[in-house]
A and B are shown apart, each in its own frame.
Chain A
Amino acid sequence: AQKVTQAQTEISVVEKEDVTLDCVYETRDTTYYLFWYKQPPSGELVFLIRRNSFDEQNEISGRYSWNFQKSTSSFNFTITASQVVDSAVYFCALSESVIQGAQKLVFGQGTRLTINP
């Protein structure tokens, strides 16, 4: 069965520090997709990134970067030069195929990130 583990429940850093959020997953499929979502205090889930299991290239988007390693089943997320606006709960999620051609999205427990000024 699918499983996503975010071992860090809460992280608190001072603004401008770099911070890495860990994500480890379990799946039986060879084709799957990994996601990161941000949930600010307002509550909506904001999509950040989607990677498929065949693309292990690291990705950088501004201050955000993602490191995908199939060998360790990890998909870690790094924020460089953190800002107060980055404060939110971050969720890692795994999507794999299920019956009837649909896909199922399973979330980790989330990491609450607090950036202090």
Chain B
Amino acid sequence: EAGVAQSPRYKIIEKRQSVAFWCNPISGHATLYWYQQILGQGPKLLIQFQNNGVVDDSQLPKDRFSAERLKGVDSTLKIQPAKLEDSAVYLCASSLALVGQGYGYTFGSGTRLTVV
């Protein structure tokens, strides 16, 4: 099966500019996650979707970050305006959403964002 697709692979922007990342999960995976991984740290969950609804966005900096998954399939994460501390790898993951089943999570290759 095809994996989780993310684009772009790399992005360099100046602070205060805006940027958008795209993710297409594995077909049939109802749950989609966006993680932020700052250099030297573990991935941190930003937002979790179940189909097109938000399950958890408690760690999303909502003053500058937004995400949507309008049709319950692919998703876009936007940062506007970007700050230097947003430099990180943004990882998208998807999983089947069956309670108690613990299906694995499949990660995309990530988008490496550098804010200068």
* Residues of A in contact with B (beta carbons under 8 Å apart): 4, 6, 31-33, 35, 43-45, 47, 50, 52, 91, 95, 97-110
Contact indicator A102/B31 (Cβ below 8 Å): yes
Which of B14-22, B65-73, B74-82, B107-115 lines the interface with chain A?
B107-115
Enumerate chain A residues within 8 angstroms of B112, measured Cβ to Cβ: 43
Of B42, B95, B100, B109, most buried by chain A (CB within 10 Å of CB) is B42
A98 to B42, CA, bound (A): 21
Contact between A100 and B98 (Cβ–Cβ < 8 Å)? no
Interface residues on B, range: 20 to 34
Would you call B42 and A101 a contact (CB within 8 A)? Answer: no
CA distance A50 to B95 in the complex (A): 14
Contact yes or no, A108 B42, CB < 8 A: yes
Nearest-CB distance from B75 to chain A (Å)? 15
Whole-angstrom distance between the alpha carbons of A32 and B91 in the complex?
Answer: 23
Q: Which residues does chain A contribute within 8 Å of B53, judged by CB atoms?
A: 100
Query: In the complex the two chains form, what is the Cα distance from A102 to B30 in whole Å?
Result: 9
Cβ-defined contact, B102 with A50, below 8 A: yes
B67 to chain A, nearest CB (A): 15
Cβ-defined contact, A91 with B42, below 8 A: yes
State whether A109 touches B31 (Cβ < 8 A): no
Contact of B45 among A31, A43, A106 (CB under 8 A): A106
The docked-state distance in angstroms from the alpha carbon of A31 to that of B100 is: 7
A-B contact pairs, 26 of them (CB 8 A): A6-B42, A32-B102, A33-B102, A43-B109, A43-B112, A44-B109, A45-B91, A45-B107, A47-B104, A47-B105, A50-B104, A97-B100, A98-B56, A99-B55, A100-B53, A102-B55, A102-B97, A102-B99, A103-B31, A103-B97, A103-B99, A104-B48, A105-B45, A105-B93, A109-B42, A110-B42
B51 to chain A, nearest CB (A): 9
